[in-house]
């Protein structure tokens, strides 16, 4: 047992989020401090946040030790979270200080709890009654003892604030101070749920039994879109709440939260806490504090919600678990799905991974018996999976600069006539992926990256999808100086929309692409309008693949089904399979059976065939066999090493040095490939070089990589980051 409390003056080790990569020694402050306490410490001339991480190391002269300034008024970080940060940091090779930053991303953490004034019914009698005064009293009586802020009460009662202040002077209304960060309204797990189908009920029962064991366990909940996965996992949440433990539901898209909040409110009678980038600073602080006090029973959030200071986290649901946005690709490189499993295992908690199209990793873990698996086979109600067919583009006659085959436009026309909706799907934002000079053949690239600039016609600019840099469309070729020869090559969603508008001049079109909306709210409004409204044709990127409900949608046309197959990426086949299945799942969610048509030049490609035949298990078995054969994840291990530098030569020098001095890797049976320029070799002005480490499964890869990279001294200006279990290869 480590020490839990440190007397004043005792030597304590403090972890700070500063990039120091070590725990620093301090003296415990007056009154002592608890293990895990949030504190403020002097660091050079500054005062910084810290957490009491354990006993001091004792290698620093006791006489020179500085004292902790003060202990902050937040519940100490629990052992479970400290150990999660340590283990997650060790797994992803992320410095502990950086892990602590993930757990303290909240404004005002070091401020004392702030108070605000509320007004409620007092004992006094008014010297005289007026209409306005009566309305204030009536309002307070009506809400039975609830207190309101001055502005809330004045608007509820429809009186000026001076009326309330006047009543307060006479004690008719009582002023009181309450903490600004209010607890969340309690959720009631015993409100009635929807009546579950037999399938759903037995899955819900299995999850409840898992919860009841109060031990760690992970369940893959697989079911086609619309089969009721959400209904089912809400029952696991209900059981978790009954046990008095906290639950976390991770969603891949902020745009999905509002529909989910409404469902939680319908099921449990109140809204949960939210934690994602769309939440205001005030709400963020409230959520962080209330989660820590156990006054938030359920949190809905993005991957960073995994690092909140839960009192007792009993359940983590990862919805759309295959979604690539769960992988954080900058800073600490972690996969929220895997970290959810880690955190749950440290707190005897359950994990539910929900998906219509699980990742191969989760599928394989279920096959191997590490995860339980539950399948929901039927769609709820009448809705059935769409009929799927390929349009062989080799046989379709297309004029230049068009991408919609006659067969597809014919089908769209029929839907419009019937008052139904059609979706044209192309996973590429913008107008055209390439802008080319017809005089010299040069393509417009980004000045900072190696990427081509993508034309966005709505913004009237070229945009780099790698670094976000934009520039105006050139009239004159930047390479040869010839004027008026710049041409857009290839389609993005905006261009497909243009073609659709030409083909269907009377139809109402809507484009769904993440860059066209200034805010999550605007996007949400657009999605709702499409779901209910009179849109005939939706043109969208992968944004539409994610769980939205369009009841009138009966046709999905995939403009370029081959797009994901050419990446040369380990997961190209898997991603294409998932995306196509999901987009197809948008069609016919209501009563009418939908149709999905895939435009492809390779109708015989195994992935396209598996999508069309709907043989999911067959697809996974084939893909798993290929990966196993090649020793690739999840049957082998990979780590990416990314070196970046202002000039390519020094990045390559370091890469070559590492590749030559690979004893530490070879000692565990790992091999290193590279260095090679990263597929996008320059990002934000820095040159990037990659190495890929491949190892058999079961090898202690992190330790070997650490020994390997610790051996080199990084010149200033060079950065090296390690990506354990890389998802993308950029
Ligand atoms: P998934 O999460 O698998 O996509 P949902 O849980 O969102 O599926 O269910 C799809 C739709 O069907 C939702 O509107 C949901 O409320 C409804 N639904 C699912 N199961 C039931 C049920 N047993 N009773 C009533 N409505 C249901
Ligand atoms: Zn760029």
Q: Are 627 and 620 in contact (CB under 8 A)?
A: no
Element (H or E) spanning 492, and its range?
Answer: none
Q: Which ligand is nearest to the CA of 229?
A: 1
Cα(328) to centroid(ligand 2), Å: 19
Nearest-atom index, ligand 1, CA of 200: 23
Residues facing 470 on adjacent strands: 463
Which three-class secondary structure string do you get for 370-433?
CCEEEEECCCCCCCCCCEEEEEEHHHCCCCCCCCCCHHHHHHHHHHHHCCCEEEEECCCCCCEC
Largest CA distance in the chain: 91
Using a 6 Å CB cutoff, which residues line ligand 1? Answer: 194-197, 200, 223, 225-231, 380
Which tens digits make up the pLDDT trace of 644-701?
A: 999 889 999 999 999 999 999 999 999 998 888 877 777 788 888 889 899 999 899 9
Neighbours of 268 (CB within 10 A): 23
Cα(108) to centroid(ligand 2), Å: 35
Mutational pocket test of ligand 1: of 225, 226, 545, the residue with most ligand atoms within 8 Å of the beta carbon: 226
Q: Which ligand is nearest to the CA of 193?
A: 1
pLDDT of residue 110: 74
pLDDT of residue 458: 79
pLDDT of residue 654: 93
Higher-confidence residue of 590 and 586: namely 586
Least confident of 302-316, 413-427, 495-509, 519-533: 519-533
Which tens digits make up the pLDDT trace of 414-467?
A: 999 998 899 898 888 889 988 999 999 889 988 887 778 899 887 788 988 777
- Here the tokens at position 389 are 């067919």
Neighbours of 489 (CB within 10 A): 14
Q: Which ligand is nearest to the CA of 251?
A: 1
Distance CA 137, CA 132 (A): 9
Higher-confidence residue of 561 and 506: namely 506
Cα(245) to centroid(ligand 1), Å: 25
Least confident of 334-348, 371-385, 637-651, 705-719: 371-385
Nearest-atom index, ligand 1, CA of 263: 16
- 3-class DSSP assignment, residue 684: coil
pLDDT of residue 589: 55
pLDDT of residue 546: 64
* Average pLDDT score over residue span 323-336: 88
* Average pLDDT score over residue span 125-141: 90
Which tens digits make up the pLDDT trace of 52-109?
A: 999 988 777 777 899 999 999 888 999 999 999 999 999 999 999 999 999 998 877 7
**If we measure between CA atoms, which residue out of 1, 24, 20 comes closest to residue 12?**
24
Q: What is the DSSP string of 607-651?
A: HHHHHHHT-HHHHHHHHHHHHHHHT-TTSEEEEEEEEEESSHHHH
* Average pLDDT score over residue span 29-47: 94
* Average pLDDT score over residue span 502-529: 80
Does residue 717 register a pLDDT over 80?
A: yes
Rg (CA), the chain: 29
* Neighbour-count burial of 457, counting CB atoms closer than 10 A to its CB (0-12 exposed, 13-18 middle, 19+ buried): middle
Nearest-atom index, ligand 1, CA of 356: 3
Does residue 474 register a pLDDT over 70?
A: yes
Q: Where residue 379 falls among pLDDT bands split at 50, 70, 90?
A: low
- Here the tokens at position 365 are 């873990």
Residue nearest to ligand 1 atom 9, measured at CA = 228
Cα(376) to centroid(ligand 1), Å: 11
Higher-confidence residue of 544 and 120: namely 120
Does residue 551 register a pLDDT over 60?
A: yes
- 3-class DSSP assignment, residue 432: strand
Which tens digits make up the pLDDT trace of 357-370?
A: 899 999 999 999 99
Q: Are 557 and 499 in contact (CB under 8 A)?
A: no
Q: Where residue 1 falls among pLDDT bands split at 50, 70, 90?
A: very low
Residue nearest to ligand 1 atom 26, measured at CA = 194
Q: Are 314 and 211 in contact (CB under 8 A)?
A: yes
pLDDT of residue 518: 63
Does residue 183 register a pLDDT over 90?
A: no
């Amino acid at each position: 047992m480590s020490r839990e409390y440190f007397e004043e003056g005792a030597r304590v080790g403090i972890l700070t989020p500063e990039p120091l990569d070590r725990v620093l020694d301090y003296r415990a402050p007056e009154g002592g401090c608890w293990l895990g306490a949030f504190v403020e410490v002097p660091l050079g001339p500054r005062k910084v946040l810290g957490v009491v991480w354990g006993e001091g190391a004792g290698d620093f002269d006791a006489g020179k030790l500085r004292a902790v300034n003060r202990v902050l008024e937040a519940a100490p970080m629990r052992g479970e979270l400290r150990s999660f940060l340590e283990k997650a940091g060790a797994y992803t090779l992320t410095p502990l200080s950086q892990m602590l930053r993930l757990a303290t991303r909240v404004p005002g953490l070091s401020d004392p709890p702030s108070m605000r004034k509320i007004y409620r019914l007092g004992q006094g009698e008014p010297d005289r009654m007026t209409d306005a005064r009566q309305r204030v009293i009536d309002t307070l009586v009506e809400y039975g003892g609830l207190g309101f802020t001055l502005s809330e009460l004045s608007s509820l009662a429809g009186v000026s604030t001076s009326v309330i202040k006047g009543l307060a002077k006479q004690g008719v209304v009582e002023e009181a101070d309450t903490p600004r960060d209010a607890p969340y309204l309690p959720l009631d797990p015993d409100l009635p749920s929807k009546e579950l189908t037999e399938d759903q009920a037995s899955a819900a029962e299995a999850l409840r039994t898992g919860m009841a064991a109060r031990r760690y366990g992970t369940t893959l909940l697989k079911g086609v879109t619309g089969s009721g996965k959400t209904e089912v996992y809400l029952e696991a949440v209900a059981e978790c709440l009954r046990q008095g433990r906290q639950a976390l539901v991770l969603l891949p898209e902020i745009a999905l939260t509002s529909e989910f909040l409404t469902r939680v409110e319908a099921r449990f009678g109140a809204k949960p806490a939210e934690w994602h980038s769309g939440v205001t600073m005030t709400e963020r602080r409230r959520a962080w504090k209330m989660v820590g006090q156990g006054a938030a029973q359920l949190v809905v959030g993005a991957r960073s919600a995994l690092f909140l200071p839960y009192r007792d986290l009993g359940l983590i649901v990862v919805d759309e678990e295959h979604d690539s946005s769960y992988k954080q690709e900058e800073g600490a490189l972690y996969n929220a799905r895997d970290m959810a499993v880690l955190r749950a295992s440290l707190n005897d908690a359950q994990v539910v991974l929900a998906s219509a199209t699980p990742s191969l990793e989760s599928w394989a873990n279920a096959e191997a018996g590490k995860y339980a698996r539950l399948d929901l086979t039927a769609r709820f109600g009448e809705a059935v999976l769409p009929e799927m067919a390929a349009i062989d583009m080799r046989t379709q006659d297309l004029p230049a600069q068009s991408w919609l085959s006659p067969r597809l436009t014919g089908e769209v026309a029929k839907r419009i006539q019937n008052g139904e909706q059609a979706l044209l799907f192309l996973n590429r934002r913008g107008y055209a992926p390439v802008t080319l000079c017809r005089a010299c053949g040069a393509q417009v690239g980004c000045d900072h990256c190696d990427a081509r600039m993508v034309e966005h016609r709505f913004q009237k600019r070229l945009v780099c999808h790698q670094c976000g840099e934009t520039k105006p469309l050139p009239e004159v070729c930047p390479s040869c100086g010839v004027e008026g020869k710049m041409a857009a090559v290839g389609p993005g969603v905006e261009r497909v929309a243009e073609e659709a508008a030409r083909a269907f001049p009377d139809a109402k079109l809507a484009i769904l692409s993440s860059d066209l909306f200034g805010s999550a709210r605007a996007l949400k409004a657009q999605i709702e309008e499409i779901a209910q409204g009179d849109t005939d044709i939706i043109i969208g990127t992968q944004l539409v693949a994610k769980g939205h409900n369009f009841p009138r949608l009966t046709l999905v046309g995939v403009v370029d089904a081959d797009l994901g197959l050419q990446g040369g990426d380990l997961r190209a086949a898997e991603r294409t399979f998932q995306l196509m299945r999901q987009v197809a799942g948008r069609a016919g969610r209501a009563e009418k059976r939908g149709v999905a048509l895939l435009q492809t030049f390779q109708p015989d490609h195994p992935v396209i065939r598996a999508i069309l035949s709907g043989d999911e298990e067959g697809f996974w078995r084939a893909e798993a066999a290929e990966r196993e054969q090649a020793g690739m994840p999840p049957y082998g291990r990979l780590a990416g090493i990314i070196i970046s530098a202002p000039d390519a030569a020094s990045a390559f020098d370091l890469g070559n040095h590492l590749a030559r001095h690979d004893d530490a890797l070879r000692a565990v049976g790992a091999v290193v490939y590279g260095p090679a320029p990263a597929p996008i070799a320059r990002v934000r002005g820095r040159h990037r070089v990659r190495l890929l480490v491949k190892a058999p499964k079961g090898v202690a890869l992190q330790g070997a990589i650490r020994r390997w990279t610790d051996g080199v001294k990084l010149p200033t200006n060079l950065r090296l980051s390690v990506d354990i279990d890389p998802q993308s290869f950029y």
